[in-house]
Chain A
Amino acid sequence: MTGIVAVIDYGMGNLHSVASALQHVGASEVVVTHDADVIRQADRVVFPGVGGIRDCISEIRRLKCDELLTQALTQQQVPVLAICVGLQALMSRSEENGGVDCLDTIPGEVRYFGNPLTDAEGARLKVPHMGWNEVHQTMAHPLWAGIPDRTRFYFVHSYYAHAWDRSLLAGSVQYGVSADAALARDNLFAVQFHPEKSAAAGLRLLKNFLEWNGQC
């Protein structure tokens, strides 16, 4: 039994892909919602995100999803998976949209990839960072179970997270800079890539999330 998986919906785009992927790997009940009662009773919480960070943060706060998330992490202590802008929203602040204060759940900042961006040999890199890139697993974690180190996941983003506490880094990705691809702390796992769009590897990570007891 995977229990109820609540996908937090703060109105910033289509979350059906995440819900479909979770169902595909065996979630018995997935609810896409911002209803506080549902989220409080959920056995697992997914915190996704697409779009600009300013609008995201303002909707998260307006719908009090920030409080629900804190509650899930600290009181309910259920497994929480943040995805893409969901991860970025957890950081302290972002350079996007002229500078935005974020939720400060994971101290750190979200930076622009830079323009021009170049690789180690000086070749120009396009922004957004769009496509399949290798994730280097920097920590053993139940969510990496069955996924070989340096497996490729699908990324699409122009800003990247950098956590101050480097012991939280669970995976990194190289794209001109070394960007945080996954961060982990207690019952929270946050990824910059899109597991719901990363074919077999992404589905395996979501399956691992459904089987995770929230401990590292």
Chain B
Amino acid sequence: MALAKRIIPCLDVENGRVVKGVNFVDIRDAGDPVEIAMRYNEQGADELCFLDITASHEGRDTTVHTVEQIAEHVFIPLTVGGGIRSVDDIRTMLNAGADKVSINTAAIHNPELVRESAQRFGSQCIIVAIDAKRVDDVEGQPRWEMFTHGGRNPTGIDAVAWAARMAELGAGEILLTSMDRDGTKNGFELGVTRAITDAVDIPVIASGGVGALDHFVDGVIRGGADAVLAASIFHFGEYTVPQVKAYMAEHGIEMRQ
């Protein structure tokens, strides 16, 4: 009897539509975020994550409306990330019905945003997203650095030290994405996952690279992650949430069935 590890499907949303599509057998509209959110809820997803990749300001208003609609129909925790830059952005998403927001680049430019928003809204709703890439030191020892802009721009900041600092500033959770693995289906980068889960007392969500059932198990058992986030493996129907949960439970991991 213990706290269950969480499975979090993640959807990319642009101008109020889910992009890249979702391949459920009997879905009417593969782009409708509300229908997709309801479907994952029925499958037993423990939380949902929406990543807003909308570029335009007008499009972001649409996203707010989308979040409102989802919150009216789906009664599991909802995280919204992408383009969160200010306390006002956070307030807007929380008022729309998001339970948590994920802050990425803005935390690098302005770490105080994490402290200020955690104080104002509570640590429980402030997730700091870390995009880490392996940059071994001169002796070949593994090291991971923070990158921005989808892994293109190095920041020079050590990812493990950064996670610890974000926890000190009041982040309630870390969403860790390995930029070396994202989209590869080769599994999580377990080195950085373990280094960060060991370095902080707050929960860590592992992301980036899931392509097989064993990867979920490894993320939790070897990486030490408290939750696992995945996108395409669910969207294209390779595995359903119940299949993943059953497999993890078979490997001795506490799950909500």
Residues of A within 8 A of B (CB): 13-14, 16-17, 20-21, 24, 50-52, 115-116, 119, 124-134, 150, 152, 154-158, 174-175, 196-199, 202-203
B4 pairs with A152, CB closer than 8 A? yes
B75 pairs with A132, CB closer than 8 A? no
Taking a contact as CB atoms closer than 8 A, the residue among B1, B44, B121, B203 that contacts A174 in the complex is: B1
Taking a contact as CB atoms closer than 8 A, the residue among A126, A133, A157, A199 that contacts B76 in the complex is: A199
B227 pairs with A131, CB closer than 8 A? yes
A131 pairs with B3, CB closer than 8 A? yes
A129 pairs with B75, CB closer than 8 A? no
A17 pairs with B124, CB closer than 8 A? no
Q: Note all chain A residues with C-beta closer than 8 A to B71.
A: 16-17, 20
A21 pairs with B2, CB closer than 8 A? no
Distance A133 CA – B3 CA, assembled complex (angstroms):
5
B141-185: CB near A (< 8 Å → 1, else 0) gives 000000000000000000000000000000011000000000000
Q: Which of B51-100 touch A at CB < 8 Å?
A: 68, 71-73, 75-77, 94-97, 99
Distance A130 CA – B123 CA, assembled complex (angstroms):
11
B256 pairs with A50, CB closer than 8 A? no
B46 on the interface (CB 8 Å rule)?
yes
A134 pairs with B226, CB closer than 8 A? no
User: What is the minimal beta-carbon distance from A52 to any residue of chain B, in angstroms?
Assistant: 7
Q: Note all chain B residues with C-beta closer than 8 A to A50.
A: 121-122, 124-125
Q: Decide yes or no: A132 and B97 within 8 Å by CB, A126-B226, A197-B75 being known contacts.
A: no
A126 pairs with B121, CB closer than 8 A? no
The number of residue pairs between A and B whose CB atoms lie closer than 8 Å in the complex comes to 101
Distance A16 CA – B73 CA, assembled complex (angstroms):
11
A131 pairs with B202, CB closer than 8 A? no
Q: Decide yes or no: A132 and B201 within 8 Å by CB, A16-B97, A197-B99 being known contacts.
A: no
B124 pairs with A156, CB closer than 8 A? yes
- A-B CB contact pairs (8 Å), 18 listed: A14-B94, A16-B68, A20-B73, A50-B124, A127-B201, A128-B123, A128-B202, A130-B124, A130-B226, A131-B4, A131-B5, A132-B6, A156-B77, A158-B124, A197-B75, A197-B76, A199-B41, A199-B75
Distance A126 CA – B124 CA, assembled complex (angstroms):
13
Identify the closest chain A residue to B255 (Cβ). Answer: A132
Identify the closest chain A residue to B224 (Cβ). Answer: A124
Q: Note all chain B residues with C-beta closer than 8 A to A116.
A: 201
Distance A138 CA – B13 CA, assembled complex (angstroms):
43
Q: Note all chain B residues with C-beta closer than 8 A to A51.
A: 121-122
A126 pairs with B203, CB closer than 8 A? yes
